């Protein structure tokens, strides 16, 4: 059995930027254990798998450790594969996912994801979160799917030295640390050791919380964002009611095939 595999860099203008994702188009679902094994073997923050449906595609995302409910950069990567590798001629593609139907449309050289905007609530764990992030000063602490840590200076984000074991003890999926930017509206880094990703270079799904927060704070609906530590990626986020449009470019990197035993089982 051979499975096509595409590795692309999402939220990137060229290879080696943004966040790498693997994408595997399937004709039918493989066993979950096999999907997880492929994701672990790829050893990227996410591997996306999709199968065709009458309305579009059913899309799932796996880290090296677990299946996740929402992933932005691998959705962007999957849409790029549909449009460019599979040659689907359409202005938009619809993915059925654990988080509902997500659409991605073309806009010039970028792809635009239509995601639900998330609401943040205050979190009273300043001491625990500060310690897990190396003793930083926290300006504001909030939570939705992720803990959102707001700091006063972008330079704090560059110097972060998180304790991954302590981060695992905190609530939520992961921890996003964010600050107002200089050449962009806001910057961030995201850590998710609980889901098998110590640091994700560019986390599209985190911006479903970050974009509404900064839109309200900066009094603007369209924002530019940059995420990452050693590896950086850029996004444009536009608030439209209870949705957030997350825009980015994709850079292709690798095309190949996975070879599996002939008796690999299908559901």
Q: 159 Cβ partners below 8 Å, 6+ apart?
A: none
Q: Is 46 a catalytic residue?
A: yes
- Nearest partner of 118 among 144, 87, 156, judged by Cα: 144
Residue 261 contacts residue 23 (beta carbons within 8 Å): no
Cα 126–173–192 angle (5° rounding)? 90
Give me the catalytic one of 17, 27, 46, 139. 46
Q: 41 Cβ partners below 8 Å, 6+ apart?
A: none
Residue 93 contacts residue 103 (beta carbons within 8 Å): yes
84 φ, ψ to 5°? Answer: -105, -40
Q: Which residues are catalytic?
A: 46
């Amino acid at each position: 059995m051979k499975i096509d595999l595409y590795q692309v860099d999402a939220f990137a203008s060229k290879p080696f930027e943004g966040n790498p994702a693997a994408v595997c188009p399937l004709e039918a679902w493989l066993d979950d254990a096999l999907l997880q094994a492929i994701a672990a073997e790829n050893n990227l923050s996410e591997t996306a798998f999709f199968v065709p449906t009458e309305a579009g595609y059913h899309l799932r995302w796996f880290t090296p450790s677990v299946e996740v409910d929402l992933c932005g950069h691998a959705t962007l990567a999957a849409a790029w594969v549909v449009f460019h590798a599979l040659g689907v001629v359409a202005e938009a593609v619809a993915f059925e996912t654990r988080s509902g139907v997500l659409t991605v449309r073309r806009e010039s050289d970028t792809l635009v994801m239509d995601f639900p905007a998330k609401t943040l609530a205050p979190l009273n764990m300043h001491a625990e979160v500060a310690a897990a992030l190396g003793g930083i000063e926290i300006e504001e602490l909030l939570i939705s799917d992720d803990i959102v840590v707001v700091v006063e200076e972008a330079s704090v984000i560059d110097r972060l030295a998180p304790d991954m074991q302590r981060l695992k003890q905190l609530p939520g999926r992961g921890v996003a640390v964010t600050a107002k930017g200089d050449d962009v509206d806001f910057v961030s880094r995201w850590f998710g050791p609980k889901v098998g990703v110590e640091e994700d270079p560019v986390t599209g799904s985190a911006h479903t919380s970050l974009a509404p927060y900064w839109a309200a704070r900066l009094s603007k609906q369209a924002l530019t964002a940059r995420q990452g530590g050693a590896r950086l990626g850029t996004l444009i986020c536009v608030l439209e009611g209870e949705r957030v449009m997350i825009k980015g470019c994709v850079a292709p990197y690798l095309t190949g095939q996975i070879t599996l035993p002939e008796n690999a089982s299908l559901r």
